[in-house]
Amino acid sequence: MATTNHFGIALRGWRERVSPQDSGLEAGGDRRIPGLRREELARLAGLSVDYVVRLEQGRARNPSPQVVTALARALRLEPSERDHLFRCAHLAPPPAGNVSRHVPARVHRLVGQLAGNPTAVFAADWTLISWNGMWNEAVGDPRTYGWRELNLVDGMFRSSGGRRREPIAAWPVRSWAGDEVEEEDLVADLRLTAAAHPHDARLAAFVDRMLHDSPRFARLWSNGTARTNVGDRKTVEHPRVGNIDLDLDVVMAAGTDLRIVTYTAAVGTTDAEKLDALRAICPDPGRGLAHAMSGRDAPS
């Protein structure tokens, strides 16, 4: 069975959607397609017309990273599209820049819709960017946690020197999977971020500091496990309403590498009733989120 020409299909489709005017070209003449001609794309990318033809037809299947980069730039591809073009060429996508702490307006709106549940937004390196009022009610104000740089990884691996780990929130929040599994999941997720952002000096310095300061972190970092953290089940030892069993879900915001973390309780349970009690005393569930974002959501 013939191999699908994914690279050529993508290349032609994106070429035909690009406006000549947006590329700084004259749009005059008899144009049979609304987008760029092959010779125009070739000129913009610094390639021969024949090579562009062979790429689209699947007769040239191993373009170099330099060629794919030039085509992506000429076609004005979004990062996700650029990465897809690299994969179609059987190449690894180029590494991302620094970990972003920018929260797009649509993510802000999405989190606002979750104001009835404890919800927070983390950067890909697990720096806490913003949180809502219900987060404060359920697990305490993050400004009281004592995490350096408001980073969950730092908080997770702080140790009191005893057998029982210090709370990673204002009061204890226990993982049903156990501390070891929870820590391994977080380190495995951070390793993916570090690999995707190899030139982020701030992230590299943070990892180096954790390796130096925490033998537990160093041991888990050395095992090579890499996977996305998707959530857990937690018991919150709440000072007002007692223990609450909650599901913690981690959702990746589309088009970003932000982690939206939210706590929910099963409907009809005493845990849901306890969350209702916290909502009743929360003056404005969304207020904390707006306050935390102000002045802190600029791109890094």
Domain-wise residue ranges, the chain: 6-88, 105-293
Please report, as a single letter, which amino acid is at residue 171. W
Between these two residues, 261 and 96, which has the higher pLDDT value?
261
Place of tokens 């970003």: 256
CA-CA distance, 3 to 182, in Å (whole number)?
A: 42
Please write the tens of the pLDDT for every residue from 215-233.
Answer: 999 999 999 889 999 999 9
DSSP H/E element including 259: strand 259-264
Residue 18: the pLDDT is 86
The CATH topology of domain 105-293 is: Beta-Lactamase (3.30.450)
Residue 210: the pLDDT is 95
Please write the tens of the pLDDT for every residue from 52-111.
Answer: 999 999 999 899 999 999 999 999 888 888 999 999 999 988 887 899 988 888 888 888
Return the structure tokens found at 131. 């949180």
Q: In sequence order, what DSSP letters do the residues of 209-248 get, joined into one string? A: HHHHH-HHHHHHHTT-------EEEEEEEETTTEEEEEEE
Residues 6+ apart with CB under 8 A from 299: 100, 101, 102
Residues 6+ apart with CB under 8 A from 127: 99, 101, 149, 150, 151, 152
Q: Are 188 and 226 in contact (CB under 8 A)?
A: yes
HSE value, Cβ hemisphere, 13 Å, CA-based, for 255:
7
**Assigned superfamily of 6-88:** lambda repressor-like DNA-binding domains (1.10.260.40)
